[in-house]
Structure 1
Amino acid sequence: MLGAALLLAAAVPAAPVKPGPFATFDDWAIGCDNANRCTLTTLDPEEGPAPSEVFTIMREAGQPGRWKMWLTARSDEDPFAVEIDGEQVGGPFRATPDGATIEGATARAIAAALPKARRIEVVDGVGRTLAKISTAGLDAALRRLDEVQGRVGTVTAAIVTGRRPESAVPAVPTLPIVSVVKPVGSPPILSSAKVKALQRRAKCRVGRGTVKARLYSLDHTRNVALVPCRTTGNNPTSAVYILDKGVAKLGRLDAVPGLDGWTRVPRITNGSYSNGSLYSYARGSEDGDCGLSQHFLWDGTKFRLIEQTQMDVCRGNTAFISTWRVRLRFP
Structure 2
Amino acid sequence: MNSARIAAATALSFAAFSAAAAGAAGKEGVSFSHNDWELACDNTRTCRAAGYQVESGSALEPVSMLITRHAGPGTPIEIDLQTGGQEEPKGSVRFKVGKATLSGLKDGAASLDQGQIRTVLPELLKGDDATVTDSGGHKWVLSLAGLNAVLLKMDEVQGRVGTPGALVRRGSKPESSVLPPVQAPVVNAVLPTKARPGDDALAARIFPSLKSDPSADDCNNHDEFNAKSLNVSRLTDRKVLLSFGCGMGAYNYTSLLWIANDKPPYAPVAIEANGDFDEKSASVTSSMKGRGIGDCWSSQTWHFDGKGFVLSGHTYDGMCRGFPGGAWSLQRYVSQVKLSEPSATPSKP
Q: TM-score, normalised by structure 1?
A: 0.77
Map of 2:331 onto structure 1: 322
User: How far 1:295 sits from its partner (Å)?
Assistant: 0.9
| Equivalent residue in structure 1 for 2:256, among 228, 232, 239 | 239
Q: CA–CA distance in 2 between the matches of 1:209 and 1:150?
A: 52
Q: CA–CA distance in 2 between the matches of 1:286 and 1:157?
A: 39
Q: How does 1:27-38 map to 2 (within 5 A)?
A: 27-38=36-47
3-state DSSP of counterpart to 2:224? coil
Map of 1:189 onto structure 2: 200
Cα contact 1:122–1:130 (8 A) shared by 2: yes
| Equivalent residue in structure 2 for 1:61, among 71, 78, 97 | 71
Structure 1 gap segments, 5+ residues each: 1-15, 258-267
CA offsets per residue over residues 33-62 of structure 1, 9 Å max, x none?
111211111244233123342222211111
Map of 2:161 onto structure 1: 152
3-state DSSP of counterpart to 1:147? helix
Cα contact 1:195–1:213 (8 A) shared by 2: no
**1:219/1:294 Cα in 2 relative to 1: closer, same or farther (>3 Å)?**
same
Q: Is 1:72–2:72 an aligned residue pair?
A: no
User: How far 1:25 sits from its partner (Å)?
Assistant: 0.9
User: How far 1:288 sits from its partner (Å)?
Assistant: 2.5
CA offsets per residue over residues 53-87 of structure 1, 9 Å max, x none?
22222111112223223223313216634222142
Structure 2 gap segments, 5+ residues each: 1-24, 341-349
Q: Is 1:137–2:146 an aligned residue pair?
A: yes
Give RMSD over aligned pairs.
3.0
Q: CA–CA distance in 2 between the matches of 1:107 and 1:232?
A: 43
| Equivalent residue in structure 2 for 1:84, among 79, 97, 121 | 97
Sequence identity percentage? 24
3-state DSSP of counterpart to 1:216? strand
CA offsets per residue over residues 85-133 of structure 1, 9 Å max, x none?
14214x64444x6x22335443454334421124411233x59453111
3-state DSSP of counterpart to 2:40? strand
Q: Is 1:287–2:296 an aligned residue pair?
A: no
Q: How does 1:1-331 map to 2 (within 5 A)?
A: 18-46=27-55, 47-74=57-84, 75-77=87-89, 80-89=93-102, 92-95=104-107, 99-124=109-134, 126=135, 128=137, 130-186=139-195, 188-190=199-201, 193=204, 197=208, 198=210, 200=212, 202-203=214-215, 205-207=222-224, 211-230=228-247, 232-246=249-263, 247=266, 249-253=268-272, 268=274, 271-275=276-280, 276-316=282-322, 318=326, 319-330=328-339
Cα contact 2:51–2:144 (8 A) shared by 1: no
Cα contact 2:203–2:232 (8 A) shared by 1: no
Q: CA–CA distance in 2 between the matches of 1:82 and 1:56?
A: 14
**1:133/1:301 Cα in 2 relative to 1: closer, same or farther (>3 Å)?**
same
* Structure with the higher helix share, 1 or 2: 2
Count how many residue pairs are aligned between Structure 1 and Structure 2.
298
Q: TM-score, normalised by structure 2?
A: 0.74
User: How far 1:140 sits from its partner (Å)?
Assistant: 1.1
Q: CA–CA distance in 2 between the matches of 1:209 and 1:175?
A: 40
Once the two structures are overlaid, the 10-residue window that deviates more, 177-186 or 241-250, is: 241-250
